[in-house]
Every structure is written in C-alpha cells, then in structure tokens.
C-alpha cells in the first residue's frame, strides 16, 4: 500500500487477555518502529527493527511486550496478560533506512487499545 497500515484500528479487551497488533510498513522500507502514545503525551519509543532483527528493544516496558518481524516487512506487537495501564494508541512507523539522517519516519494511524 501507499502508507503504513495498522490493524486493528480499535481493540477493546479485558484485563489479562492476549492482544496482537499488526503493522504493514511502506513497501521497501527496511526500518520499522513501534511507539506507544497516551493522551496528552508524545510518542514513547518501544522497539525498532532493521530488517528482521530488533536493533533496539530498550523501550519495551516489561516482558509482557514482544514484537516480531519475521520476513522483514509486516510486524506484530504482542502483549500478554494485558493490564489497564496498557491502554494507549500504539503507533507504527517505517523509514527507508535506519541510518542517522533518516529523520523521515512515516506513521500509521495507530491502533487504539483499551483494556477494561
């Protein structure tokens, strides 16, 4: 597709459930990023992939969060045993490369997760 596509756009789940959020980056973009954004805040970095490998996962808040990108394109963010504090908009972004002058991250519209 032309832009970064994220599904689902909205997800409501119960505390303790497992959730998967999907990101389809712009074709040909090797770098993929996951961010989390709470109301009134800027995006909070979670994890960055260069190709298939997670180049930096230092932003993942705990081991309930995991992300994969097995073929270097689509990525899935997985959250186990969801908690109410996980409620946020999860943003995915991609860029052509992950190098130092690659400021141009293209964002998807986000997946809004609500944990009841």
74, 68 contact by CB (below 8 A): no
- Cα 66 to Cα 27, 41, 71: the distances in Å are 23, 22, 16
φ, ψ dihedrals at 67, nearest 5°: -135, 150
Name the site residues for another protein (rule: CB under 8 A). Answer: 4, 40-45, 48, 55-56, 58-59, 91, 93, 98-101, 103-110
Q: Minimum CB separation from another protein for residue 31, in Å?
A: 9
Cα–Cα dist 79/86, whole Å? 9
Whichever of 15 and 109 has its CB closer to another protein, that residue is 109
Q: Minimum CB separation from another protein for residue 110, in Å?
A: 6
Whichever of 82 and 95 has its CB closer to another protein, that residue is 95
Whichever of 50 and 76 has its CB closer to another protein, that residue is 50
Q: Would you say the C-alpha torsion 39, 75, 48, 17 has a positive or negative sign? A: positive
Q: Minimum CB separation from another protein for residue 91, in Å?
A: 5
């Amino acid at each position: 597709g032309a832009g970064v596509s994220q599904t689902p756009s909205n997800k409501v789940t119960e505390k303790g459930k497992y959730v998967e959020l999907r990101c389809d980056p712009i074709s040909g973009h090797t770098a993929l990023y996951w961010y989390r954004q709470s109301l009134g805040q800027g995006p909070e970095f979670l994890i960055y992939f260069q190709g298939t490998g997670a180049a930096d996962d230092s932003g993942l808040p705990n081991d309930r969060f995991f992300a994969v990108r097995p073929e270097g394109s689509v990525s899935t963010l997985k959250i186990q045993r969801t908690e109410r504090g996980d409620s946020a908009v999860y943003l995915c972004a991609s860029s052509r490369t992950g190098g130092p002058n690659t400021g141009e991250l293209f964002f998807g519209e986000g997946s809004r997760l609500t944990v009841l």
